Protein backbone atom coordinates (compact mmCIF):
# COMPACT_ATOMS: atom_id res chain seq x y z
CA UNK A 1 0.00 0.00 0.00
CA UNK A 2 0.93 3.61 -0.60
CA UNK A 3 0.53 6.83 1.33
CA UNK A 4 -2.22 8.75 -0.48
CA UNK A 5 -3.54 12.32 -0.56
CA UNK A 6 -6.25 13.53 -2.92
CA UNK A 7 -6.46 17.05 -4.32
CA UNK A 8 -9.90 18.60 -4.04
CA UNK A 9 -12.85 16.29 -4.41
CA UNK A 10 -11.29 13.91 -6.88
CA UNK A 11 -11.00 10.25 -6.05
CA UNK A 12 -14.12 10.32 -3.84
CA UNK A 13 -14.80 6.59 -4.16
CA UNK A 14 -12.21 5.74 -1.50
CA UNK A 15 -11.96 7.51 1.87
CA UNK A 16 -8.45 9.00 1.69
CA UNK A 17 -6.81 12.09 3.14
CA UNK A 18 -7.45 15.16 1.01
CA UNK A 19 -6.61 18.83 0.69
CA UNK A 20 -9.15 21.11 -0.90
CA UNK A 21 -10.50 24.60 -1.17
CA UNK A 22 -13.32 25.61 1.14
CA UNK A 23 -16.12 26.17 -1.37
CA UNK A 24 -18.40 27.42 1.41
CA UNK A 25 -15.87 30.11 2.38
CA UNK A 26 -15.09 30.91 -1.27
CA UNK A 27 -18.68 31.69 -2.19
CA UNK A 28 -19.20 33.64 1.04
CA UNK A 29 -16.11 35.72 0.24
CA UNK A 30 -17.38 36.41 -3.29
CA UNK A 31 -20.83 37.43 -2.04
CA UNK A 32 -19.34 39.64 0.69
CA UNK A 33 -17.24 41.42 -1.94
CA UNK A 34 -20.27 41.90 -4.20
CA UNK A 35 -22.39 43.25 -1.35
CA UNK A 36 -19.59 45.59 -0.27
CA UNK A 37 -19.64 47.05 -3.79
CA UNK A 38 -23.38 47.69 -3.68
CA UNK A 39 -24.73 44.61 -5.46
CA UNK A 40 -28.20 43.54 -4.32
CA UNK A 41 -29.07 40.74 -6.77
CA UNK A 42 -26.21 38.25 -6.61
CA UNK A 43 -26.71 35.08 -8.63
CA UNK A 44 -24.90 31.73 -8.79
CA UNK A 45 -24.69 29.81 -12.07
CA UNK A 46 -22.95 26.47 -12.64
CA UNK A 47 -23.61 22.99 -13.98
CA UNK A 48 -25.25 20.75 -11.38
CA UNK A 49 -22.40 18.20 -11.55
CA UNK A 50 -19.88 20.87 -10.46
CA UNK A 51 -21.80 21.44 -7.23
CA UNK A 52 -22.58 17.74 -6.76
CA UNK A 53 -18.87 16.88 -7.05
CA UNK A 54 -18.22 18.91 -3.87
CA UNK A 55 -21.27 17.55 -2.03
CA UNK A 56 -23.29 20.74 -2.66
CA UNK A 57 -20.86 23.00 -0.80
CA UNK A 58 -21.27 25.77 -3.40
CA UNK A 59 -25.05 25.73 -3.02
CA UNK A 60 -24.86 25.42 0.77
CA UNK A 61 -22.63 28.48 1.03
CA UNK A 62 -24.81 30.44 -1.38
CA UNK A 63 -28.08 29.66 0.40
CA UNK A 64 -26.60 30.17 3.88
CA UNK A 65 -25.26 33.57 2.82
CA UNK A 66 -28.66 34.55 1.39
CA UNK A 67 -30.38 33.42 4.59
CA UNK A 68 -28.11 35.57 6.75
CA UNK A 69 -28.60 38.62 4.49
CA UNK A 70 -32.40 38.96 4.31
CA UNK A 71 -32.12 42.57 3.13
CA UNK A 72 -30.89 41.42 -0.30
CA UNK A 73 -32.88 39.84 -3.12
CA UNK A 74 -33.12 36.06 -3.13
CA UNK A 75 -31.93 35.04 -6.59
CA UNK A 76 -32.71 31.44 -7.51
CA UNK A 77 -29.38 29.76 -8.33
CA UNK A 78 -28.91 28.23 -11.77
CA UNK A 79 -27.83 24.64 -11.13
CA UNK A 80 -28.96 22.51 -14.05
CA UNK A 81 -27.89 19.36 -15.85
CA UNK A 82 -28.24 21.02 -19.26
CA UNK A 83 -25.97 24.02 -18.58
CA UNK A 84 -25.76 25.83 -21.87
CA UNK A 85 -26.17 29.25 -23.42
CA UNK A 86 -29.97 29.05 -23.58
CA UNK A 87 -30.36 28.00 -19.92
CA UNK A 88 -28.02 30.80 -18.81
CA UNK A 89 -29.88 33.40 -20.91
CA UNK A 90 -33.29 32.32 -19.65
CA UNK A 91 -32.00 32.52 -16.07
CA UNK A 92 -30.43 35.97 -16.66
CA UNK A 93 -33.72 37.32 -18.03
CA UNK A 94 -35.85 35.77 -15.28
CA UNK A 95 -33.65 36.52 -12.25
CA UNK A 96 -32.01 39.78 -13.45
CA UNK A 97 -28.83 39.45 -11.35
CA UNK A 98 -26.59 42.48 -10.97
CA UNK A 99 -23.67 40.14 -10.26
CA UNK A 100 -23.05 36.60 -11.53
CA UNK A 101 -20.85 34.13 -9.64
CA UNK A 102 -19.60 31.25 -11.78
CA UNK A 103 -16.69 28.91 -12.36
CA UNK A 104 -17.68 27.40 -15.70
CA UNK A 105 -15.62 28.62 -18.64
CA UNK A 106 -18.00 29.80 -21.36
CA UNK A 107 -20.61 31.59 -19.23
CA UNK A 108 -18.92 34.99 -19.47
CA UNK A 109 -18.75 34.67 -23.26
CA UNK A 110 -22.44 33.71 -23.41
CA UNK A 111 -23.45 36.67 -21.23
CA UNK A 112 -21.46 39.18 -23.29
CA UNK A 113 -22.52 37.67 -26.62
CA UNK A 114 -26.17 38.19 -25.72
CA UNK A 115 -25.99 41.89 -25.02
CA UNK A 116 -25.15 42.03 -21.31
CA UNK A 117 -22.27 44.44 -20.86
CA UNK A 118 -19.78 43.25 -18.25
CA UNK A 119 -19.13 45.12 -15.99
CA UNK A 120 -21.49 47.96 -17.00
CA UNK A 121 -24.81 46.05 -16.84
CA UNK A 122 -23.80 43.08 -14.73
CA UNK A 123 -20.72 42.19 -12.71
CA UNK A 124 -18.96 38.86 -13.10
CA UNK A 125 -17.00 37.00 -10.43
CA UNK A 126 -15.02 33.87 -11.31
CA UNK A 127 -15.06 31.44 -8.38
CA UNK A 128 -11.80 29.81 -9.48
CA UNK A 129 -9.67 32.76 -10.55
CA UNK A 130 -6.14 31.98 -11.74
CA UNK A 131 -3.61 34.37 -13.33
CA UNK A 132 -4.61 33.23 -16.85
CA UNK A 133 -8.02 34.79 -16.21
CA UNK A 134 -6.33 38.20 -16.11
CA UNK A 135 -8.83 41.07 -15.84
CA UNK A 136 -11.59 39.05 -14.18
CA UNK A 137 -12.58 39.69 -10.59
CA UNK A 138 -12.77 36.52 -8.57
CA UNK A 139 -11.65 34.22 -5.83
CA UNK A 140 -8.19 32.68 -5.93
CA UNK A 141 -8.49 29.16 -4.51
CA UNK A 142 -4.70 29.09 -4.06
CA UNK A 143 -3.90 25.87 -5.94
CA UNK A 144 -0.19 26.20 -5.13
CA UNK A 145 -0.97 26.31 -1.40
CA UNK A 146 -3.30 23.34 -1.75
CA UNK A 147 -0.46 21.44 -3.44
CA UNK A 148 2.00 22.42 -0.69
CA UNK A 149 -0.42 21.32 2.04
CA UNK A 150 -0.93 18.00 0.21
CA UNK A 151 2.83 17.42 0.12
CA UNK A 152 3.00 18.19 3.86
CA UNK A 153 0.22 15.70 4.56
CA UNK A 154 1.88 13.06 2.39
CA UNK A 155 5.24 13.61 4.15
CA UNK A 156 3.48 13.25 7.51
CA UNK A 157 2.09 9.86 6.47
CA UNK A 158 5.47 8.67 5.22
CA UNK A 159 7.27 9.88 8.35
CA UNK A 160 4.73 8.09 10.55
CA UNK A 161 4.88 4.96 8.39
CA UNK A 162 1.17 5.13 7.58
CA UNK A 163 0.07 3.45 4.38
CA UNK A 164 -3.15 2.35 2.73
CA UNK A 165 -6.71 3.48 3.40
CA UNK A 166 -6.73 5.62 6.55
CA UNK A 167 -8.96 4.65 9.45
CA UNK A 168 -9.80 8.31 10.05
CA UNK A 169 -9.29 10.31 6.85
CA UNK A 170 -8.31 13.97 7.25
CA UNK A 171 -9.63 16.75 5.05
CA UNK A 172 -7.67 19.99 5.11
CA UNK A 173 -9.45 23.00 3.63
CA UNK A 174 -7.81 26.24 2.57
CA UNK A 175 -9.61 29.53 2.20
CA UNK A 176 -9.63 31.57 -0.98
CA UNK A 177 -8.28 35.07 -1.46
CA UNK A 178 -10.09 37.88 -3.28
CA UNK A 179 -8.66 39.01 -6.62
CA UNK A 180 -9.82 42.52 -7.47
CA UNK A 181 -9.89 42.45 -11.27
CA UNK A 182 -12.13 44.77 -13.29
CA UNK A 183 -15.42 42.86 -13.62
CA UNK A 184 -16.96 43.62 -10.20
CA UNK A 185 -17.02 47.41 -9.75
CA UNK A 186 -18.93 49.57 -7.28
CA UNK A 187 -22.69 49.75 -8.01
CA UNK A 188 -23.72 52.61 -5.73
Q: What is 5-179's CATH superfamily?
A: Response regulator (3.40.50.2300)
- pLDDT reported for residue 86: 97
Mean pLDDT of all residues in 36-61: 96
Report pLDDT digits (tens) over 6-36. 988 877 788 999 999 999 999 999 999 999 9
Q: Find all residues with CB under 8 Å of 88, minimum gap 6, and list them.
A: 45, 78, 107, 110, 111
pTM (two decimals) = 0.93
- pLDDT reported for residue 105: 78
Assign 185 a pLDDT band (cuts: 50, 70, 90): very high
Measured distance CA(175)–CA(61) in Å, rounded = 13
Taking the domains of the chain in order of start, what are their residue ranges? Answer: 5-179
Amino acid sequence: PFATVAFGHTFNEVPVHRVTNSQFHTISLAMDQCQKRGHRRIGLAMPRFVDAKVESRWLAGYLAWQYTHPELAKIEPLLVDQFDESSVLAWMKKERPDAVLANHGPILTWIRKNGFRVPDDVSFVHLNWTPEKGELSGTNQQPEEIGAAAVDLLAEQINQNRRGIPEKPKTITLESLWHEGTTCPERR
